[in-house]
Amino acid sequence: MVLIGMLSFSCSTEDFPEDEVSNISLQNPPPAKNIEIEILELINAHRISLGLNALNNHNTIKAVAYTHTDYMVEVDNVSHDNFFQRKNSLMQNASATAVSENVAYAFSSAQSVVNAWINSDGHRANIEGDYTDFDISAEQNEEGRWYYTNIFIKR
- pLDDT above 80: residue 16: no
Measured CA to CA in angstroms, residue 14 lies from 6, 33, 84, 99, 132 at distances of: 25, 31, 11, 9, 18
Report whether 138 contacts 35 (CB < 8 A).
Answer: yes
Report whether 66 contacts 152 (CB < 8 A).
Answer: no
**Between residues 70 and 14, the one the model is more confident about:** 70
- pLDDT above 60: residue 3: no
> 100-146, pLDDT tens digit by residue?
999 999 999 999 999 999 999 999 999 999 999 999 999 999 999 99
- Domains annotated on the chain, with CATH: 34-154 (3.40.33.10)
**Average pLDDT of span 43-62:** 98
> 65-111, pLDDT tens digit by residue?
999 999 999 999 999 999 999 999 999 999 999 999 999 999 999 99
**Between residues 83 and 29, the one the model is more confident about:** 83
Q: Where are the beta strands (DSSP E) in the chain?
A: 7-12, 56-57, 98-105, 133-140, 146-154
What is the predicted pLDDT for the residue at 27? 73
What is the predicted pLDDT for the residue at 2? 30
What is the predicted pLDDT for the residue at 126? 98
What is the predicted pLDDT for the residue at 10? 57
**Between residues 62 and 17, the one the model is more confident about:** 62
Residue 41, phi then psi, degrees to nearest 5: -65, -40
Confidence category of residue 28, pLDDT binned at 50, 70, 90: confident
